[in-house]
A and B are shown apart, each in its own frame.
Chain A
């Protein structure tokens, strides 16, 4: 099982997070988390061994920007997930944005791109 790539999930909606976890598992990844709060997300981003991350921009009123910065510092690729809008200022362009609700094909393609790059 250790061969599976570890993907951090930061998503504050439990049902959605569960759904994303199932999706990742079905794609052959190992989900890490899910973190539903900023502090929790930061902790995981700092301590866990990670290959990539999917970050919901809005975390119950907080923004996941800090998690992204921590990951960027570690060289872990990440994508933002949002129902609308664009990535936070200075956090990449729309090419690193996953639309919500999650679609399996989109998540798969994004992860492949991130892990290949």
Chain B
């Protein structure tokens, strides 16, 4: 107790002039550190000091705490008593205590236990009180709870329908409640002079005594039903739950029976059976079949519709066996049912199971759901297994259909190559299918819950956001092409189609999107674009060549008919070279093919040409120039040279010469067996084409010699490196 008597103050060796407090500061420090409220009052009841805990309890300033009327915060249920006790205490000029509820600053009612002691000055005059208050709320609440439990318990024992009869280890009654007396039909005084054996029906003692002796010996509790013989000679059936009472050291000192009067239950068995029948009808009306199985004989009563459920004829006695039932269970389910029933039979576990049967009559498969319990009697009557079954085939089928449908959708979700994505309305991913994860290289954890913005080009996300807003405004679906970032940094182009998902009341709750990888398609598209550009270039280039050929062929002064024929021949040569290049997809082509194709229109197939040389490869552009040059030479040979005579022929030979500075091509065109050759008066397109065009193209020298025995054209050029 933190309160201090005047004697304590004096014996503390404090100077007589200031016996109490020892010093304002010191007293304040001590008082403020105390977890209890402390106050000091004057004779006029005004407080001259309160400590920190006092102030904190009130939640006001120090000055307000000094003036505070504490009666204002006493619980209405306590205020009259406390005020009265307080006045009495003060008047007595002795220490006094108050216990009651006071309102703390937070509004909570707290139980406070205050102790007030009178203060005396050195002359022995009463000068006021000093008080201390403890918060005892927790202790008080615990006490109240305990008291409540105690009251409940005693009420339960004294007013309950249960009788309590306690006997010593020999069976002599030591304690009985009113209810037990009423049930047993003896007064308390009469019972306390008797043993429980003496009032138990002799027929029941045979079972009762061994159970009682075992309980005393081993402490085994038991429940049984037996008869008491009342003082008036009447019989009362009771259900007793019996347990051993022990001293704190564990030594048994008595046996307690909690006794229920079950005479009425036994008497009204007939009525009960009737109500059971009613219940059974109700159960069967609800499609439930019932059974009772005697676990000693493994047979029992079946409700008529249990026979119907199994497709069996109703037996005249409406009884069935476990074997009959098991025979109907589908072999795949039989073991499972056997194990479950076994647990119920042996361990008393509640029985609940779904299994398939095959109806005895139609052979149809049906699903049954069954619930059962083991009923024990605590006496020598055998336990029974009772329960209900009902047909759940339709529900099972619906479930299976749902499961199959779910599985189908799941299969689609998991196995499609398209990307399936669901998001919240703020575009956070809620699910993605494996195709998404495979394409992006992320695990599910790395994407679920994340915003789609993390996986997208920023401006594409802005477009996606805008598309979402459009859908929220107008409904429908939107298509977008977006660039998506895979984990490895690669960019994928996805074409997505998304629509809103709505809840049952029509509010949008999220987004479903299906996406397709267009990366390859887009690549193909840009490749095609390149090809078209290239084609455009080639077409323009070819037209430029045609323009050049036309310009050269139709120079002023030439014979129109001959010029047209020459033009056609040149175009044909150009076209032939293009054909070859097109066949080879503009890849480098072998020289023999170029030359062979170029001379073919001029009797190339009739043995007029000798074409010999290694299989050198020419770039497409070089091939065109060479083809045009050979065409010019062949045209000239047919018109004026060796091929104008039946016996004339042309030899085209080339070789690869490895010289310093790289390999060189050496090619000769020589005509034989033609008329004597004279140099032409002017060099036409053909000659220029050959000498200048080809040499420029090949980067070497091309020379035409008008040798009288036959024209010779010599080509000497570096062999161009042909890119593979």
| Interface flag for B529 (CB, 8 Å) | no
User: With a CB–CB cut-off of 8 A, which chain B residues contact A40?
Assistant: 699
A101 touches B547 (CB 8 A): yes
A36 touches B697 (CB 8 A): yes
| Interface flag for B650 (CB, 8 Å) | no
Cα A18 to Cα B552 with chains together (Å): 8
A18 touches B699 (CB 8 A): no
Looking at B164-172, B200-208, B412-420, B535-543, the stretch in contact with chain A turns out to be B535-543
Cα A102 to Cα B619 with chains together (Å): 25
Contact mask for chain A residues 89-100; partner B; CB cutoff 8 A; 1 contact, 0 none = 000000000001
User: With a CB–CB cut-off of 8 A, which chain B residues contact A102?
Assistant: 544, 547
| Interface flag for B628 (CB, 8 Å) | yes
Report the nearest B residue to A20, measured CB to CB. Answer: B548
Contact A18 B541, CB 8 Å, known A37-B699, A60-B621, A84-B533: no
Looking at B154-162, B597-605, B607-615, B687-695, the stretch in contact with chain A turns out to be B687-695
B111 to chain A, nearest CB (A): 92
User: With a CB–CB cut-off of 8 A, which chain A residues contact B694?
Assistant: 14
B356 to chain A, nearest CB (A): 77
User: With a CB–CB cut-off of 8 A, which chain A residues contact B537?
Assistant: 58, 83-84
A15 touches B543 (CB 8 A): no
A101 touches B540 (CB 8 A): yes
Which residue from B543, B619, B692 sits with its C-beta under 8 Å from A14? B692
| Interface flag for A108 (CB, 8 Å) | no
A83 touches B551 (CB 8 A): no
Report the nearest A residue to B688, measured CB to CB. Answer: A18
B692 touches A16 (CB 8 A): no
| Interface flag for A17 (CB, 8 Å) | yes
Report the nearest A residue to B555, measured CB to CB. Answer: A22
| Interface flag for B696 (CB, 8 Å) | yes
In residues 541-559 of chain B, which contact A (Cβ within 8 Å)? Answer: 541, 543-549, 551-552
Cα A40 to Cα B695 with chains together (Å): 13
User: With a CB–CB cut-off of 8 A, which chain B residues contact A12?
Assistant: 621, 697
A15 touches B689 (CB 8 A): yes
Cα A14 to Cα B687 with chains together (Å): 12
Contact A14 B699, CB 8 Å, known A84-B540, A100-B541: no
B693 touches A17 (CB 8 A): yes
Contact A16 B545, CB 8 Å, known A22-B552, A34-B696: yes
A55 to chain B, nearest CB (A): 14
| Interface flag for B625 (CB, 8 Å) | yes
B10 to chain A, nearest CB (A): 109
Cα A64 to Cα B628 with chains together (Å): 25
A16 touches B533 (CB 8 A): no
Cα A13 to Cα B694 with chains together (Å): 10
| Interface flag for A19 (CB, 8 Å) | yes
Cα A12 to Cα B545 with chains together (Å): 11
A18 touches B548 (CB 8 A): yes
User: With a CB–CB cut-off of 8 A, which chain B residues contact A14?
Assistant: 625, 628, 689, 692-694, 696-697
B693 touches A83 (CB 8 A): no
Cα A8 to Cα B694 with chains together (Å): 19
For chain B, what secondary structure do more than half of its interface residues adopt (helix, strand, loop), or is it mixed? helix
A83 to chain B, nearest CB (A): 3
B619 to chain A, nearest CB (A): 8
User: With a CB–CB cut-off of 8 A, which chain B residues contact A83?
Assistant: 536-537, 539-541, 543-544
B544 touches A18 (CB 8 A): no
A19 touches B697 (CB 8 A): no
Name, among A12, A14, A36, A60, the residue most crowded by chain B CB atoms within 10 Å (CB to CB).
A14
Contact mask for chain A residues 1-31; partner B; CB cutoff 8 A; 1 contact, 0 none = 0000000000011111111101100000000
Which residue from B544, B619, B685 sits with its C-beta under 8 Å from A16? B544
Contact mask for chain B residues 685-724; partner A; CB cutoff 8 A; 1 contact, 0 none = 1001100111011010000000000000000000000000
Report the nearest A residue to B628, measured CB to CB. Answer: A15
Cα A46 to Cα B628 with chains together (Å): 32
B547 touches A18 (CB 8 A): no
Cα A18 to Cα B551 with chains together (Å): 10
A114 to chain B, nearest CB (A): 21
Report the nearest B residue to A100, measured CB to CB. Answer: B544
B581 to chain A, nearest CB (A): 14
B540 touches A18 (CB 8 A): no
Cα A83 to Cα B535 with chains together (Å): 11
Which residue from A22, A36, A101 sits with its C-beta under 8 Å from B544? A101
Cα A101 to Cα B543 with chains together (Å): 6
Cα A84 to Cα B533 with chains together (Å): 9
A19 touches B536 (CB 8 A): no
Which residue from A23, A36, A100 sits with its C-beta under 8 Å from B696? A36
Name, among B546, B685, B688, B693, the residue most crowded by chain A CB atoms within 10 Å (CB to CB).
B693
Report the nearest B residue to A103, measured CB to CB. Answer: B547
User: With a CB–CB cut-off of 8 A, which chain A residues contact B621?
Assistant: 12-13, 60
A18 touches B536 (CB 8 A): no
A22 touches B540 (CB 8 A): no
B541 touches A15 (CB 8 A): no
A19 touches B540 (CB 8 A): no
Cα A58 to Cα B549 with chains together (Å): 20
Which residue from B619, B693, B699 sits with its C-beta under 8 Å from A15? B693
User: With a CB–CB cut-off of 8 A, which chain B residues contact A20?
Assistant: 548
User: With a CB–CB cut-off of 8 A, which chain B residues contact A37?
Assistant: 699
B539 to chain A, nearest CB (A): 8
User: With a CB–CB cut-off of 8 A, which chain B residues contact A16?
Assistant: 541, 544-545, 547-548
A104 to chain B, nearest CB (A): 9
Report the nearest A residue to B619, measured CB to CB. Answer: A60
Name, among B540, B544, B621, the residue most crowded by chain A CB atoms within 10 Å (CB to CB).
B544
B692 touches A18 (CB 8 A): yes
A100 touches B548 (CB 8 A): no
Cα A13 to Cα B628 with chains together (Å): 12
Which residue from B548, B619, B699 sits with its C-beta under 8 Å from A19? B548
A72 to chain B, nearest CB (A): 25
B696 touches A19 (CB 8 A): no
Contact A15 B545, CB 8 Å, known A100-B540, A101-B540: yes
User: With a CB–CB cut-off of 8 A, which chain B residues contact A36?
Assistant: 696-697, 699
B541 touches A19 (CB 8 A): no
In residues 599-642 of chain B, which contact A (Cβ within 8 Å)? Answer: 619, 621, 625, 628
User: With a CB–CB cut-off of 8 A, which chain A residues contact B548?
Assistant: 13, 15-16, 18-20, 101
Contact mask for chain B residues 653-687; partner A; CB cutoff 8 A; 1 contact, 0 none = 00000000000000000000000000000000100
User: With a CB–CB cut-off of 8 A, which chain A residues contact B619?
Assistant: 60
User: With a CB–CB cut-off of 8 A, which chain A residues contact B552?
Assistant: 15, 18-19, 22
A84 to chain B, nearest CB (A): 5
Extra pairs beyond A18-B685, A19-B547, A36-B697 (17, CB < 8 Å) = A13-B548, A13-B621, A14-B625, A14-B689, A15-B544, A15-B549, A15-B693, A16-B545, A18-B548, A34-B696, A36-B696, A36-B699, A60-B621, A83-B541, A83-B544, A100-B540, A101-B543
Cβ contacts A to B, 19 pairs, < 8 Å:
A14-B689, A14-B692, A14-B696, A15-B549, A16-B545, A17-B693, A18-B689, A19-B544, A19-B548, A19-B552, A22-B551, A23-B551, A36-B697, A83-B537, A83-B541, A83-B544, A84-B533, A101-B547, A101-B548
